[in-house]
Amino acid sequence: MSRLLPIAASAALALGLWQALVVLAALPPFILPGPARVAETLWASRALITEHAGITVAEVLIGLALGAVLGGLSAIGLAASPAARRLIRPMMVFSQAIPVFALAPILTLWLGYGLWSKIAMALLIIYFPVTSAFFDALMRTPQAMLDMGRVMGARPARLMWHIRVPAALPGFASGLRLAAVYAPIGAIIGEWVGASKGLGYLMLLANGRAKIDLMFAALIVLAVFTLLLHMGVDRACRRWLDGKAAG
């Protein structure tokens, strides 16, 4: 309960500043609606927003799961193979020079307007942070632990799975926390480029029809979902790491 108080206080302050800006600047609703108007629209359009939010949530969660698995396996492969580090890691770094946003039209062309192009966008945007954080942690395994394993006759595969991976799990957890924030961005960008459902599509539709209150309502739902996803992933990672430490 005590952890929620600062969040509630920050939310109340933000709402107060928002309302003050609308009143003092005399902004019309089609420029910036007040929080009360947005809340009214959110309630009145709750069925519509829920329908579109369900699509975005599915895209984000599937993309997050796939990105975590592929990123984790890639990091282990890079850490285990010097040849892979020499050949593949430079390609991964170079790929970050290409804005992921620019790939959204190509993915939509290849995968269509359904879920998979948005899932692919979410996966791409989180793949590198997860891989990079886990790989760095794997490469920082304390040398004393590795030396002890070698003295006991452990082969490289056993060193990896029984020493290096457990020691690097906090790094993997850090990558997952970042992924929880980035994954919704990828899904929304994919929906902006081409979609018929989802919160990103709903925001574009509302903006095109000058329903700014509906656009803000969808944006708030997206922000709350992202916050809850990050909090859920953070709590799950903490419990997971505590369980590993206790075991």
Distance CA 163, CA 168 (A): 9
> Which one-letter amino acid corresponds to residue 216?
F
Domains in the chain with CATH codes: 34-246 (1.10.3720.10)
Q: What is the CA radius of gyration of the chain?
A: 22
Position 3 scores a pLDDT of: 64
| CA contacts within 13 A on the Cβ side of 169 | 16
Q: Which of 192, 196, 177, 247 is nearest to 222 (CA)?
A: 192
Position 246 scores a pLDDT of: 67
Stretch 133-155: mean pLDDT: 90
For residues 95 and 134, the answer to whether their CB atoms sit within 8 Å is no
Position 151 scores a pLDDT of: 86
- Angle 79-149-175 from CA coordinates, rounded to 5°: 35
First to last CA, the chain: 29
Query: Which range (56-60, 107-111, 222-226) has the least confidence?
Result: 107-111
Q: Write down the pTM of the prediction.
A: 0.92
Position 126 scores a pLDDT of: 94
Distance CA 49, CA 37 (A): 16
DSSP sequence for the chain: -TTHHHHHHHHHHHHHHHHHHHHHTT--TTT---HHHHHHHHHHTHHHHHHHHHHHHHHHHHHHHHHHHHHHHHHHHHHH-HHHHHHTHHHHHHHTTS-HHHHHHHHHHHH-SSHHHHHHHHHHHHHHHHHHHHHHHHHT--HHHHHHHHHTT--HHHHIIIIIHHHHHHHHHHHHHHHHHHHHHHHHHHHHHS-SSSHHHHHHHHHHTT-HHHHHHHHHHHHHHHHHHHHHHHHHHHHHHHHHHH-
**Percent of the chain surpassing pLDDT 70:** 97
Q: Which of 99, 86, 113, 101 is nearest to 185 (CA)?
A: 101
> Which one-letter amino acid corresponds to residue 192?
W
Q: pLDDT (tens digit, 9 = 90+) per residue, 193-206? A: 988 899 999 999 99
Question: In which band, very low, low, confident or very high, does the pLDDT at 247 lie, cut at 50, 70 and 90?
Answer: low
Q: pLDDT (tens digit, 9 = 90+) per residue, 21-39? A: 999 988 898 899 999 999 9
The answer to whether residue 176 scores a pLDDT higher than 80 is yes
Stretch 236-247: mean pLDDT: 83
